Amino acid sequence: MHNLKLGFGILLFVLFSGAAYTSIGFHRLAMYFPFAVSVIGVILSGVYVGKLIFARRQGQAGPSSETAVDSIDAVTEVRKALPYLAWFLGYILLISLAGIVAASVVFLAAFLYREARMRWWGVVISITSTLVLLLAFSRIMRLYWPRNLLGL
């Protein structure tokens, strides 16, 4: 957890620093608000990172192992979540290639069969009903579907 917090704090520090620098180049009326916000962000994220580094140094000097345990938990959770993120990103990539209907069929079938261990007939029923509902809603509510690379 501690490393994740530190990494996120540093990321914000870099983001706000970049934003403050970029906003200097804007027209005066467009500059003052993002510049002020970014400078506040730089100061606060600096304080945040500083506090974390200070806490880590104190923790190293002392016997507390809480940070280490938290760190292991965070790494485990991130590791567990990564495959699912990969599923999501794969689905999005598939939409861009094959369009949402084909991508949804493939994604749902693969996920339900492999991850949820659903039986094949359950998969077929679920996918069919989802597609029917999606089609109905998109028709009635004039929903737009993401286009693929071919513009379909």
Partner 1 sequence: MLEAGLEALTMILQPARMGFILLGSVIGIVVGILPGMGGAVGMSVVLPFVFGMDPYSGMALLMGMVAVIHTADTFPSVLLGIPGSAGSQSTIMDGYPLAQQGQAARALGAAFTASLVGGLIGAALLFGTVSVARPLVLALRSPELFMLTLLGLSMMAILSQSSPLAGILSGVLGLFLGSIGGAPAISRYRFTFDLIYLLDGIPMPVLALGLFALPEMLDLLVRQTNIAGQAELSGSWVEGIKDAIKHRWLIVWNAILGVLIGVVPGLGGPVVNWVTYGLAARTCKNNENFGKGDIRGVIAPEAANNAKEGGALVPTMLFGVPGSSTTAILLGGLILMGIQAGPRMVSTDLPIMLTIIWTLAIANVFGAVLCLSLSGVVSKISLIPGKLLVPFLFVIMIVASYQSTRHWGDIITFVVIGILGWVMKRIDWPRAPLIIGFVLSTPAERYLHLSMSRYGFEWMKSPIVIGIAVAIVGILFYGSLRGVKKEKRDA
| Interface residues toward partner 1, by CB under 8 A | 1, 4-5, 8, 12, 15-16, 19, 22-23, 26-27, 29-30, 33-34, 37-38, 40-41, 44-45, 47-48, 51, 74, 77-78, 80-81, 84-85, 88-89, 91-92, 95-96, 100, 104, 107-108, 111-112, 115-116, 118, 126, 130, 134, 137-138, 140-147
The C-alpha atoms of residue 122 and residue 126 are separated, in whole angstroms, by: 6
Nearer to partner 1, 66 or 77 (CB): 77
Least separation in angstroms between CB 141 and partner 1: 5
Nearer to partner 1, 64 or 85 (CB): 85
